[in-house]
Amino acid sequence: MKRIIIYILTLFLLFINISANAAENTVKKEIKAIAEDGFNIEATLTYPKVKNKKEFPTVILLHSLGYNSQWWETLPSELSAKGYAVLAIDLRGHGASIYNSKLTKTSWKNLKNSAYAKYPDDVLAVINKIKEEYPKLTFFSNWAIVGADIGASTGIIAADKMPIHPKTIVMISPVVKAKGLYIPVNMAHLNGVDFLSISGTDDIMTKDAEIYLMRFAQDEFATFTSESKSTGMLMIKNDPGLAKMIAEWVGEYLY
């Protein structure tokens, strides 16, 4: 019994040391952006602490409806381990992004489609805030998006509005139209962007959406079926290898 306790304690201390070393090698910034209508959008930007490095390959994470950026499980650490900056945004009405212009709490459950239509511009507000606060650093010239359901829809429309398109977009449980966000036309505008669509084993709705959406992709549209029977961000929780696979896919595009 004593040996088992010592072994467990050793593993715990090793984990603490690894976590401490990872923290020492990264910079973590809390981003607070104000949308055009005054809604407060919050995000976390983490990037490698490398002396004299000014440009970082970046992955934007956009979560599922009803969740927040804390639900990405091991994906942020998998991406950070590859040396990428990771921008995890809480979409309007989720997580820390729940205060409107009057500082009144607003849940996603109470939003109308007119509010969801602002999601892509909210993402751009965060990006512009980062550019404003860190003018000597470059994050969005070599970048990618990982989005789950409405996060994927938001990312595609936001990407269409960016002067430099992402290299790839990973869509987890994508839909053709989410809360009024219709994405086929925007996908058709994204020349040079490869897509990866991920569905769960029994997710018939996503598989039907993939058949429709792939007609609008101008470049590669790859599909992957997870062993998980869940959808959205829960697939990353229930499929232990999925985060690593997504990081490997992104790694084929970001230099």
Of the pLDDT bands very low, low, confident and very high (cuts 50, 70, 90), residue 20 is very low
Confidence of residue 255 (pLDDT cuts 50, 70, 90): confident
- Per residue in 155-185, pLDDT (tens digit) is 999 999 999 999 999 999 999 999 999 999 9
**What percentage of the chain has pLDDT greater than the value 90?**
89
Q: Which of 191, 196, 194 is nearest to 171 (CA)?
A: 196
Instruction: Give the start-to-end residue ranges of the domains of the chain.
Output: 27-251
Which pLDDT score, from 0 to 100, does residue 23 have? 53
pLDDT for 19? 39
Listed residue (159, 129, 150) closest to 35, CA to CA: 129
pLDDT of 21 > 60? The answer is no
pLDDT digits (tens, 9 = 90+) for 180-189: 999 999 999 9
Give the DSSP letter of residue 233: T
Q: Exposed, middle or buried: residue 60 (CB in 10 Å: 0-12, 13-18, 19+)?
A: buried
Q: At CA 100, angle to CA 27 and CA 157, rounded to 5?
A: 65
CB 130 within 8 A of CB 211: no
Residues 25-41 pLDDT 10s: 899 999 999 999 999 99
The 10s digit of each residue's pLDDT in 136-158 is 999 999 999 999 999 999 999 99
pTM of the predicted model as reported, rounded to 2 decimal places: 0.90
- pLDDT greater than 80 at residue 65: yes
Q: How confident is the model at residue 18 (pLDDT cuts 50, 70, 90)?
A: very low
Q: Select the more confidently predicted residue: 3 or 212.
A: 212
pLDDT tens, position by position, 81-118: 999 999 999 999 999 999 999 999 999 999 999 999 99
For domain 27-251, give the CATH number: 3.40.50.1820
Mean pLDDT value of segment 206-216: 97
Yes or no: say if 83 and 144 are a contact pair by the CB < 8 Å rule. no
| pLDDT reported for residue 146 | 98
